[in-house]
Amino acid sequence: MIAGAFALSGLSISGAARASEFINVLTGGTSGVYYPLGVALAKIYGDGISGARTQVQATKASVENLNLLQQGKGEIAFALGDSVKLAAEGNAEAGFKAPLDKLRGIAAIYPNYIQIVASKDSGIKTLGDIKGKSISVGAAKSGTELNARAIFSADGISYGDLAKTEYLPFAESVELIKNRQLDATLQSAGLGVASLKDLAASVPINVVAVPKDVADKLGAPYIAATIPANTYEGQAQDVPTVAVVNFLVTRADVSDETAYQMTKLLFDNLPAMTAAHNAASAIKLENAIKGMPIPLHPGAERYYKEKGLL
């Protein structure tokens, strides 16, 4: 999909890369948060980087994105912090056959909230209630599924304790719950993700808490967080959960000038990103290099030195 087909207004464009560049933005499923933010980013880069041609690719998100970057099949990607760390380490169980040594950091962006949502009819009210029930945990070996494994394990739950484990993207998971073929879905995404808004508008739901002791047991890069009341229809109370920070990642052989522009234009155009999805309202320059699990790209480093962060 060519991002130039999308019109976003209010962009502040500054600077231009000298060389013509092709920038493929690796995102996630179209019903998640990565995709609309990727569309906005591609528009910003297409307008702001002289001669740049941009494209947005829908993927299975974090793990696939990082492997595609390593293979030279993308220029910038969205990924969860724990996936980035496991990629750099070459964790085979997480989907990385060897350490991905070409990954370079652009910026820490917004936190993904682990959102476990069940139909009211399922009777699932607590994390422990998931035992014996059916749940979708995201695409196999996706960043979401890695989150699911970690959280269940920290609470003493294994996939073997479940009646059925489905490995489906967000929108498909929601359709199965609506059709009473699935009890719950675990989605790692920004608050107000379209798939869960759709579910809550269609059937009565319970948003399931992830207790603070689970967050404490998990440790970094997980942090205790809260899904505010009324994030979803029928959710009257704040719900505790855990969150993990997302990162924008590039590869080592993207030119320094392009990486500099990709970093600068992101922060110059945060209103356009927030207009694409409210999750981007949490992107802050002062947090851009916090917890970065891989080396920064030299182009990004140059920008942060200019801003006094390094």
Reference 166, options 141, 140, 187, 144; nearest CA is 140
Look up residue 64 and give its two tokens.
């696939």
**Local confidence band at 31 (pLDDT 50, 70, 90 cut-offs):** confident
Reference 262, options 247, 252, 250; nearest CA is 250
Residues 250 and 237 in one domain: no
Residues 119 and 235 in one domain: yes
Place of tokens 């999750």: 279
Instruction: Give the Cα separation of 282 and 269 in Å (integer).
Output: 13
Q: What pLDDT is attached to residue 8?
A: 38
Q: What is the mean pLDDT of residues 43-63?
A: 96
Q: What is the mean pLDDT of residues 198-217?
A: 95
Residue 16, pLDDT > 70, answer: no
| Digit-coded pLDDT (tens) for 112-148 | 999 999 999 999 999 999 999 999 999 888 889 999 9
**Domain of residue 240, residue span:** 112-244
Domain boundary among 229, 244, 259: 244
Q: What type of residue sits at position 275?
A: A
Residue 133 CB: number of other CB atoms within 10 A? Answer: 17
Instruction: Give the Cα separation of 80 and 112 in Å (integer).
Output: 8
Q: What pLDDT is attached to residue 303?
A: 98
Range in 16-30, 187-201, 236-250, 264-278 with the lowest mean pLDDT: 16-30
**53 compared with 9, residue with greater pLDDT:** 53
Q: What is the mean pLDDT of the chain?
A: 92
| Digit-coded pLDDT (tens) for 208-260 | 999 999 989 998 788 899 999 999 999 999 999 999 999 999 999 999 999 99
Q: What is the mean pLDDT of residues 63-92?
A: 96
Q: How far is CA 268 from the centre of its chain?
A: 21
Determine how β-strand 22-26 pairs with β-strand 53-57.
parallel
Look up residue 122 and give its two tokens.
């399922």
Q: What's the CATH number where 183 sits?
A: 3.40.190.10
Look up residue 247 and give its two tokens.
């990162």
Determine how β-strand 134-136 pairs with β-strand 184-189.
parallel
Share of the chain above pLDDT 90, in %: 85
Q: What is the mean pLDDT of residues 91-96?
A: 93
Number of domains in the chain: 2
Residue 32, pLDDT > 60, answer: yes
Residues 173 and 282 in one domain: no
Residues 26 and 106 in one domain: yes
Q: What pLDDT is attached to residue 219?
A: 84
Q: What pLDDT is attached to residue 14?
A: 40
Reference 234, options 70, 81, 119; nearest CA is 119
